[in-house]
Amino acid sequence: MTKKKPDTQTNPDTLLAHVGRHPAENHGFVNPPVIHASTVLFPDIETMSTGGQRYTYARRGTPTSDALEEAVTTLEGAAGTRLAPSGLAAIAVALQSCLSAGDHLLVADSVYGPCRNFCNSVLARFGVSVSYYDPTDLDALEAAFRPETRAVFTEAPGSLTFEMQDIPAIAEMAHKRDAIVLNDNTWASPLYFKPIEHGVDLSIQAGTKYIVGHSDVMIGTIAASERAWKALEKTHGDMGMCVGPDDIYLALRGLRTMGVRLERHMKNALQVADWLSRRDDVARVLYPALPGAPGHDIWKRDFDGASGLFAVELAPAPDAAVEAFINALEMFGLGYSWGGFESLLTWPRPKSIRTATSWDAEGALLRLHIGLEDPADLMADLERGFAAFNAARG
């Protein structure tokens, strides 16, 4: 007898343990099979000519890719999902599914840097005009729409500087003009924010981060609403996008523990962020889940949780003092990604890339990803950094 699968109203942790798995169809094995394939055989020429079977060529899907796409579709409350070989590739496919030459795109000025680069290079080369808008100014956004505006790209919170956007208000504004709304939801994942329920048409994740969770796979996901699904499905196929089965398997494996990991990331991050916010050598902490932080009210209204990523602005100091801080750390690795079990730090310079807004903070901005280590050990490590920072700044 086949057991009934949990429905979408089930607790997220239970869903994570069950979505995308069909043991009764796979000889009782708990996990979906990892199918390494290119060629798929047809039983006869009629079936081949008519495409009369589920699988036709591995680039267009296998039971392995189906398992992850089904899982993400359920978690997102989407009409369908497609996979890409990285988060940036997912952004590129999503944007190209809803834009053509002559169209206009609005992008939050706080957006992920490689997304900005894709818009300014590839999209511009193919005749799509791009404007950047203040992510927190709804009036300015409304004024930026043109008759040819076809899409609005959002990110909540913003990359590096963590501005919160009013996604439902932006979606309403865009849909009145028949524009598609895209959202990079990597920070919260669909466990803590469901973009499609808030009016988004294309919900994007760099699954490299929290779905995988172990810093060893590159993968992206695009989940679409009913309105955006057909165009996404066609564009994804036309571009020949696919992901290797071993990477999909590791993403499925990571997905099963994403709930417990995110819960710990948030718990640890809140403790470290609160500790940082009380220090005299910290100007401010940019973490929407922290009471009093910018965007906290929107986060509290729309989100069910937070991840381990936030930024801290240090007190004004020479670059040499910031370098001393970073070089004194022993537990925080220097690395561009995040979402894994380990804590990471980068020193971004948002002022150099903004065009619609300015970033005029006097102190250095450090982006921290709080991993699964004991928070006391992480704070002790940061204390070493602050000792070196304060000694160097005099």
Catalytic residues: 59, 112, 184, 209
DSSP class of 58 = G
Q: Which of 83, 92, 99, 140 is nearest to 117 (CA)?
A: 92
Long-range contacts of residues 350-354, Cβ cutoff 8 Å, at least 24 apart: 350/110, 350/160, 350/161, 353/113, 353/116, 354/109, 354/132
Q: Which of 120, 185, 112, 179 is nearest to 151 (CA)?
A: 179
Rounded Cα gap, residues 171 and 294, in angstroms: 21
Calculate the alpha carbon distances from 382 to 106, 283, 376 in Å. Answer: 38, 15, 10
User: Are 209 and 341 contacting, i.e. CB atoms less than 8 angstroms apart?
Assistant: no
Burial state string for 304-340 with b = 16 or more CB within 10 A and e = fewer than 16: ebbbbbbbbbbbebeeebbebbbebbebbeeeeebbb
